[in-house]
Structure 1
Amino acid sequence: MTASRTIRVGVQLQPQHADYAQIRDAVRRAEDLGVDIAFNWDHFFPLYGAADGKHFECWTMLAAWAEQTSRIEIGALVTCNAYRNPQLVADMARTVDHISDGRLILGMGSGWFEKDFDEYDFEFKTAGRRLDDLRDALPLIEARLNQLNPPPTREIPVLIGGGGEKKTLRLVAQYADIWHTFAQGDELAHKIDVLKRHCHDIGRKVEEIEISVGVDGRGREGRALDDPEVEGRALLEAGVSLFTIGVGGPDYDLAMVEKYVGWRDQLNG
C-alpha cells in the first residue's frame, strides 16, 4: 500500500503542565508554522510527568481554538466516548464545527486512562465493553448530526484511534475517515492488512480512510534525527499520509513539528 493522498502534518498539543496562555500561544505558533491539524486530548489529568500537574478540559478548549485559529483543522485525539452522552457529543461537534467555519475533526475512542474514570465517577468497564459502548454510540452520533438545526457546515470527518483488530479496526472500517495509530514497521503493515479485510467485508475501499501515525522524529531505532525522512519515508511507503507529533507543556517545543512541515512541503511540491 502506498500513499496517494496529500501529505499532512498534525500536532497534538497535550493540555498538561501549562497555563492556558502557553497553550494558546502554542496553537498560534502551530498555525503559523503551517501545521494542518492541531489536536488536544480528552483527559482530566496529565499522562506524563507530575500526575497532579496542571491540566485543562478538551472540548471547552476546542471551542476556544475554533475562535482563535482561521486555517488549521482542530480536534481531539481522541474524545473518550464514556465521558459524554453521544447525542451531546454530536451537538458539541456541530457547534464547534460552526464556530470554526467547518474545520472540526471528530476524534473518537473508547477510553483507557483509569484515573480519569475513577476521579470523575465514570464506570471503568472492561476494554471490550468500552468498545461495545463506542460501537453503540457512533450511529447515535451520526443520526443526531443529521437531525440538528442548523446542520453541520460539512460532513464532519470522523477519526478513530486504536489498533484492536476485532473491534476497533472494524469500527474504523465502518465509520472512520481517519484512523490514528502508533504502530510502525511490521506491526503497522499487519494492522493495515486487518483493516483491509474489514473494509472488504463491509464493501468499503480502504483507500477512503486516511492513516495517521504518531511520530517523534526518532525512527524505529530510537535515535533522535535531524531530518524526518528516515522515520517518515517508511511510513509513507506503508500508506501513511498524516504524521502527528505529540508535544507537551509548558514550553511546547515545535522544532520537530517544523521539520516535518518542511518535509511535507518538499513531498507535496
Structure 2
Amino acid sequence: MTQPPASLTAVPVRHYGRWITAALAVAATVWLVVTLAASPALEPATVGHYLTQDFILAGVRTTLILTAVAMVLGATGGIVLAVMRLSDNPVLKALAAAFVWLFRGTPLLVQIVFFGFLGALLPRITVRVPLTGTILFDKPTSLVITGTVAAVLALSLNEMAYAAEIVRGGILAVDKGQTEAAHALGMTSAQTLRRIVLPQAMRVIVPPMGNEVITMLKSTALVSVIAGRDLMTAVQGVYAQNYKVIPLLAVAAIWYLALVSVLSIVQILLERRFGRGHHVHTGGAPR
C-alpha cells in the first residue's frame, strides 16, 4: 500500500521589489509636495484670495458653458457625420470623410485662431435671397463672430470630427443581425438607428465620449488666445497686471482639477448605467 503524500506547506512569495518601489514612489511624492508647498513663489495666501473672486467664478462659468455647448453641438454633429460616413451614398460619405480629415488633421489652436480672425478673411457676413438680390442680413464679421462665438465654432467643429469616429465605431460594434431583425419587423432605417442601434452602441460610445468631455473642458483654456473670457483668460488678465504668475496658475489648476473630478464621477456613473448586463473581465488591463 502506498503511503499518502506528506502535506505541503504553502509559502507566500515575498514581493520585496514591489514594496521597495512603493516606498520610493511615496517618498518621491512627499518630497515633491513638500518642496512645492515650501516654495515662496506659490504664495498660498494669494491662491486662497483669488480662488473665489467674482471674475474667477465668471471664468469658470464660461468654461462650463463652452464645454457644454461644444459637446452638445459636437456630439449631435458627430452622429450626423457618422451616419453619413456609413451611408451608401458616395457623395455624403466623401463629404463626411473630408470634414473629419480637415478638423482632425489641423491643430485645435490653429482652428481657434482662424475663427478668431475670420473677419480678416470675410470682412462682412451678407445673406441674400437667391435670384432677387434682396439682403436679409449684412453685418461686419467682427460684430457677429465675437471671441466667444469663435471659440464655440472652433471647439464644436473640432469635436464633431472626433465624435463622428467614436459614434461610427460604436455603431459598427453592434451586430448586423440586430439591424436585419429590425428591418424584418418593418422598421425604417431611421427607426432602426434610433431605437435599436444607438442604444446598444452607447455602451461602446460612452467611455471615449466621457474622455472627450474632460478633454474639451481642458481644451477651453486654448480660447484664451482670442480673449474667450474663460477661466484661463481671467487668470491671465490678473497675472498680466500683478505678475503673480505661479499663484494664479495654481488657482486655475485647482479649478480644472475640481471640475474634471466631478466629470469623472459622472462618467463612471454613466458607464455603469449603459454597461448593465455586460460583465467583461478585463484582467486588470488598462482600457
**TM bucket, shorter chain:** under 0.3
Bigger fraction of residues in helix: 2
Normalised TM-score (structure 2) = 0.21
Q: Highest CA radius of gyration, 1 or 2?
A: 2
Bigger fraction of residues in strand: 1
Normalised TM-score (structure 1) = 0.22
